[in-house]
């Protein structure tokens, strides 16, 4: 039983996203942050009771990502001095500190308990994909197939997140490890069937959610992984057969999802949605994002060193975007975590935040070129998908996304130790 204790601890953090909307909470992320904060407190007390300060310090003292993350949090705290709304800054920094402590806990537990964190991430990802995709599929089938309503793209299908795009990217970022399991050398037939079923569910869920960014990220992830599998000679036996199977279930997923979504024989929502990917400002979603990016660059230019204070982008944007506001609807996120961080805590905080991404991406690329292993490509794929999500949405504000990113960071540091 004792050997499962660290896995239980890690699972308590990993599955934070299962906490739903509680009573009158405006958004499910608030109960999730409360839960995660309580878990962090419990696990930190356990860590300091179980291990000496010397052992804990030895684990983190040369961890470059942890050092940059710590500096980023410190500069976020300093930015509160320059905030217009300091109460909101305190709320947001409490969320970021919760993530930071979770990262610290994951590092220490995986290191001192000697957990195979790569294997842990893979199997937790499988469970998560099943739960997330089933939740969305059930909602769609209940509404359209059971009750006979026409399909409409709606946040009612956001699943275990509060936003369709966040859920879609959450599925994509985790799916790379299904490919790793699928293309292993020795798989039993039942194992391959199980993995194909999961991928079928993920494909179908993404089709229903119609998130253009997530579909594009999924397409790029497939090119990255399948290109590696095809062009690396003698990598895995029967890889071509498995790729054909993959394309087959992708085809059937498309046929099924399109038949459910189409209200008439001539409609094709998925194709129409994908074909609309462009920088056309006449598209409301794209136009809003480009407008938010522009005003973010203005804020950065005017507050380059100090920023406007953590959590204050939503307030400053009203001043810059007042002419475009409709009724009481105001921009809450910049839909680009990098621009929002640079706006709120200044250029030095932004560079520390950027380093948290660049160190593992560059390190994983070096690992892939040196060892030519599929697991490295899968980690690289997840890192790139999360980075793309950060450039289009606001995963830093969502436990379902950012907690997984923390696990990927620790997994990367464990990966590069493998020979």
Contact, 187 vs 178, CB < 8 A?
Answer: no
Using one digit for the tens of pLDDT, what is the confidence trace for 127-164? 999 999 999 999 888 888 888 788 877 777 778 887 88
The whole-model pTM stands at: 0.93
Using one digit for the tens of pLDDT, what is the confidence trace for 380-404? 999 999 999 999 988 999 999 999 9
Using one digit for the tens of pLDDT, what is the confidence trace for 19-48? 876 655 557 888 999 999 999 999 999 999
Q: What pLDDT sits at residue 276?
A: 55
Contact, 157 vs 164, CB < 8 A?
Answer: yes
Of 364, 367, 377, which is closest to residue 419 (Cα–Cα)? Answer: 367
Q: Which two tokens stand for residue 391?
A: 């450039």
Of 130, 105, 139, 151, which is closest to residue 6 (Cα–Cα)? Answer: 105
Q: Which two tokens stand for residue 84?
A: 């217009």
| Helix, strand or coil, per DSSP, at residue 326 | strand
Using one digit for the tens of pLDDT, what is the confidence trace for 172-214? 999 999 999 998 767 788 888 999 999 999 999 998 888 888 9
Q: Which two tokens stand for residue 398?
A: 């969502």
Sign of CA dihedral 277, 280, 283, 285: positive
pLDDT at position 215 over 80? yes
pLDDT at position 238 over 70? no
Q: Which two tokens stand for residue 192?
A: 């391959």
């Amino acid at each position: 039983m004792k050997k499962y204790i660290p896995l239980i601890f890690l699972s308590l953090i990993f599955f934070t996203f299962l906490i739903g909307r509680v009573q009158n909470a405006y958004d499910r992320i608030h109960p999730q942050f409360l839960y995660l904060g309580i878990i962090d407190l419990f696990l930190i007390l356990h860590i300091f009771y179980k291990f000496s300060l010397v052992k804990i310090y030895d684990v983190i003292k040369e961890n470059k990502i942890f050092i940059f993350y710590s500096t980023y949090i410190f500069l976020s705290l300093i930015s509160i001095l320059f905030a217009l709304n300091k109460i909101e800054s305190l709320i947001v920094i409490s969320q970021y500190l919760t993530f930071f402590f979770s990262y610290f806990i994951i590092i220490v537990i995986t290191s001192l308990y000697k957990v195979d964190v790569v294997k842990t991430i893979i199997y937790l990802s499988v469970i998560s994909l099943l739960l997330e995709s089933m939740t969305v599929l059930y909602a769609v089938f209940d509404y359209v197939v059971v009750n006979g309503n026409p399909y409409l793209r709606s946040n009612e299908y956001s699943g275990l997140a509060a936003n369709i795009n966040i859920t879609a990217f959450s599925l994509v970022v985790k799916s790379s490890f299904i490919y790793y399991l699928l293309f292993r050398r020795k798989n039993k037939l039942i194992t391959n069937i199980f993995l194909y079923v999961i991928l079928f569910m993920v494909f179908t869920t993404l089709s229903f959610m119609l998130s253009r960014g997530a579909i594009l990220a999924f397409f790029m992830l497939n090119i990255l992984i399948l290109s590696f599998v095809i062009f690396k000679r003698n990598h895995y036996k029967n890889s071509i057969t498995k790729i054909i199977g993959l394309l087959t279930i992708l085809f059937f997923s498309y046929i099924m999802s399109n038949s459910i979504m189409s209200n008439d024989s001539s409609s094709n929502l998925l194709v129409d949605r994908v074909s609309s990917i462009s920088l056309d400002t006449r598209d409301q979603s794209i136009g809003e994002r480009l407008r938010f990016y522009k005003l973010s660059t203005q804020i950065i230019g005017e507050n380059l060193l100090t920023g406007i204070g953590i959590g204050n982008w939503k307030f400053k944007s009203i001043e810059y975007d007042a002419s475009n506001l409709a009724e009481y609807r105001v921009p809450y996120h910049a839909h680009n975590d990098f621009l929002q961080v640079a706006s709120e805590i200044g250029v030095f905080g932004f560079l520390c935040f950027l380093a948290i991404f660049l160190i593992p991406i560059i390190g994983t690329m070096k690992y892939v070129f040196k060892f030519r292993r599929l697991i490295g490509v899968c980690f690289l794929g997840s890192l790139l998908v999360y980075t793309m999500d950060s450039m289009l949405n606001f995963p830093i504000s969502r436990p379902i996304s950012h907690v997984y990113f923390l696990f990927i960071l620790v997994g990367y540091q464990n990966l590069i130790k493998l020979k």
